[in-house]
Amino acid sequence: MTEEGETVSTQPTLAELLESHRDERHVVVLHDYPDPDAIASAYTQQLISAQFGIETTILHTGRISHRQNVALVKILGIELNLYTEDTDLSAYDGSIFVDHQGGTVPQVVEALKAAGVPVLMVVDHHEPQNLLVPEFNDIRQAGATATIYSGYLQDGILEMDSARREHVLAATALMHGILSDTGGFIRAGGEDFRAAAFLARLRDAEILEQIMTQARSKHAMDIIQRALGNRVTQENYSIAGIGYVRAEDRDAIPQAADFLLTEENVHTAIVYGILKDERQEERVVGSLRTAKFTLNPDEFIKEVLGRSVEGQYFGGGRDSAGGFSIPVGFLSGDYGPDLQETKWKIYDAQIKHRLFAKIGVEPAKVEL
């Protein structure tokens, strides 16, 4: 305790943590559908860990489908490993979670526990979820996790050199992560701008432009069109259920929410659909985008959708954005178009009922 009665943190610094785990093998776990912020942060973690002789493997679930994300992975030359039930995690000495806190990848969290792999680090800019107990915990209010990693670089944990291609690529990727998660700096804070100023002297502007100017795919445009056709607007909220979505089109859901938010007199857009993953398990996946300063996406989603029987919230968020993922569970599976359509109507009605109740609107009756 200090003289003022405040508790002094006994948490090690990042350098102290990594030094204490020198020459180990770590797995860097990304959330279910990695975005530029997560990918850039994982790549930077890989470079930092290498300074301590630590070999890292980057693991994800879901697919990398957004064209900007595909371009980023290709340009970085980074290897992202898809988690399956056959993935052997026992070879790792520790795990690191970046840009999330394990809520969207419960199967990976459980598999790590079963394999006896401890959680060493959690670095994230979303609201605390208290799902993991790591040795090093850095969850703070920032525009992007890339901002936090830029701070590590500014502090000198890795001496950045513009003559080294991997350092230039890391700076470029981190800049992309900050840009994407702050809406092109519209939602950026002072820490984000300071990070961008540091990265500006190292980033490759041509590569950054190449990544950010990737065109939307036809499937993404089709989903945006579907969201437009299905949207219901109430009290300045635009809500769109878009039915079944291919796993490879998962990244089109937040794109559709971003697009609906541009409509006149809409301050909040919510788009959701049912997604079937590689294990044939179905989930209701959705994204929220808001321009209303007084709306907290994290609180909104948690209040509307609640939590699982295990106590884990189905979603959460940060300033201006949020997301959710609800397992369909026992009802997963394709048993013909009629049953599938009925299943969708039930989930669509339930989500709309909760959303309308939250914003004070009487929900419409559903015919099955």
Measure the CA angle with vertex 257, ends 326 and 175; round to 5°. Answer: 100
pLDDT in tens, 81-138: 999 889 999 999 999 999 999 988 889 999 999 999 999 999 999 888 888 999 999 9
Q: Which amino acid is at 69?
A: N
Helices 145-154 and 165-181, axial angle in degrees (round to 10): 140
Say how far apart CA 175 and CA 327 lie, in whole Å.
Answer: 33
- Residue 217 neighbours by CB distance under 10 Å: 18
Domain ranges of the chain: 14-212, 218-359
Q: What is the pTM of this model?
A: 0.75
Superfamily for domain range 14-212? inorganic pyrophosphatase (n-terminal core) (3.90.1640.10)
Summarize pLDDT for 295-351 with one digit per residue, the tens: 999 999 999 999 888 788 888 887 788 899 898 887 777 777 788 888 899 999 999
| CATH number given to 218-359 | 3.10.310
Chain-centroid distance of CA 138 in Å reads 16
CB 216 within 8 A of CB 249: no
Is residue 111 a contact partner of residue 90, using CB atoms and an 8 Å limit? no
Are the C-beta atoms of residues 125 and 113 closer than 8 Å to each other? no
